[in-house]
Amino acid sequence: MTTDPTRDGTPVPLLQVDDLAIEFATPDGVVRAVDGLSYSVSAGRTLAIVGESGSGKSVSSLAVMGLLQQPPARIVRGSIRFGGTELLSLGQKAHRAVCGENIAMVFQDALAALNPVHTVGWQLTEALRARHGMSRRDATARAVELLDLVKVPNAKQRVKEYPHQFSGGMRQRVMIAMALSMDPEVLIADEPTTALDVTVQAQIMRLLSEIQAERQMGLILITHDMGVVANVADDVTVMYAGRAVEQASVFDIYAAPAHPYTRALLGSIPRLDQKGGGLAVIPGRPPDPTQVPAGCAFHPRCAFAEDVCRADPPPPTVSLPFDRTSACHFAEEVMNHDEH
């Protein structure tokens, strides 16, 4: 597996997802949860995937990890490559073997994601013992190291404890330590700070970006918090109704969003530097996945929508300057639209 960083200036992508489409068979018909998603992560870079719940951001990362339940899920087309290996053609067993070892995942809600009946130390090193045949004693030492790494105080004692004896923030640290146990090159963090209070959220995010910088990992951060994105991400993929509606560097996307949805998302962040009354909200709700509107899926909620948006779906990627894309008929207009 390649970890080649920048030899000629351009980073080699570690993980590359291309034109991924995933469907779910439901009693109400087939639902397209992800449609034509592409992204890539390189060593040392952070990609934020942003979107509302149901936008397909978690489903796509489960597909990367080989954790989709098939059926009901079905990968219709696309490719997921890790360091040149096509994961989708590997078969479930080999696919999962890559995961954990090379790609690891931090799940949201650590209380549910940790097994309540095994000690934290046991779970931290489970993969090392089961897959690498590490001895029990070495594993305990390694578990203590891992807890130290994520700054859980008193690690020696705490490896013997169970998840329910940890606070929410400490549990999430355990989740992170567990994902790091096999020294992965890519880490997927699926809303790692939901259900935590704000100060703890900040600590966890700082810890994640420190570890990422230190190990030069590729980090995929799945979130709906645009504030977090601004702090840690290098690149941003905004998803809406299963599609990547905008992809750009974090600087460009905050400076001039090129999709009305991104624009609306940014508009709904509370800001300290602006006095104002209520927060801006995006009118309407995300579409019912069984009944995605015709044309552009966002048009019923879009301030820029015109007749063409109701009739024709926008091109999946409108290329814009600075290597950014937007799936909008009026991408350039939106980008150049002056609001403030």
Partner 1 sequence: MGRYITRRVLQGFLTLFLVMFLLHLLTTLAIQLNGNPAQAFFGDRTPSPSQLAAVETRYGLDDPCYDQLGNPCIGPFVERLGDYAQGDFGESLRGRPVTDIVSTAAPNTLRLFVVVTITWLAIGMTLGGIAARRRGKASDHGIRGLSILIDALPIFVLLLVYKYIFSVPLSRWAKDTFGSDSLPALLFKPSFSPQHAWATLIVPGILLGLAGSAAFIRLVRAAQLETYNADHVRTARSKGLSERHVSRHHVVRNSAIPVVTAVGIVFTEALAGAVITEGMMNIYGMGGVLWKAVQDSDVSVVIGVVTLLAAVTVVVMLVVDVVYAALDPRIRYE
Confirm or reject binding of residue 104 to partner 1 (CB under 8 A).
yes
* 133 binds partner 1 per the rule CB under 8 A: no
**Half-sphere exposure for 331 (CA within 13 Å, toward CB):** 18
120 contact partners, CB below 8 Å, separation of at least 6: 114, 143, 147, 158, 159, 160, 161, 162, 163, 166, 174
Q: Which stretch binds partner 1 (CB under 8 A): 99-107, 253-261, 283-291, 323-331?
A: 99-107
Question: Can you tell me the distance from the alpha carbon of 109 to that of 196, in angstroms, rounded to the nearest whole number?
Answer: 9
Q: Site residues for partner 1, window 138-177 (CB under 8 A)?
A: 162, 164, 175
Smallest gap, in angstroms, from Cβ of residue 34 to partner 1? 18
CA dihedral 248, 254, 257, 262 (to 10 degrees): 90
Query: Which positions from 48 through 77 interact with partner 1, judged by CB under 8 A?
Result: 65, 67
Query: For partner 1, which residue of 8, 9, 53, 93 counts as binding (CB under 8 A)?
Result: 93
As measured in angstroms, the least distance from the Cβ of 185 to partner 1 is 14
**Number of C-beta neighbours around residue 277 at 10 A:** 4
Among 12, 30, 90, 97, binds partner 1 (CB under 8 A): 97
36 forms part of the interface with partner 1 (CB under 8 A):
no
For partner 1, the binding residue among 118, 156, 271, 285 (CB under 8 A) is 118
Smallest distance from partner 1 to CB 35, Å: 24
Separation of alpha carbons 221 and 106, rounded Å = 10
Contact between 66 and 92 under an 8 Å Cβ cutoff? The reply is yes
Distance of CA 179 to the CA centre of its chain: 14
Contact residues: partner 1, CB under 8 A: 65, 67, 93, 96-101, 104-105, 107, 109, 112-118, 126-127, 130-131, 162, 164, 175, 178, 181-182
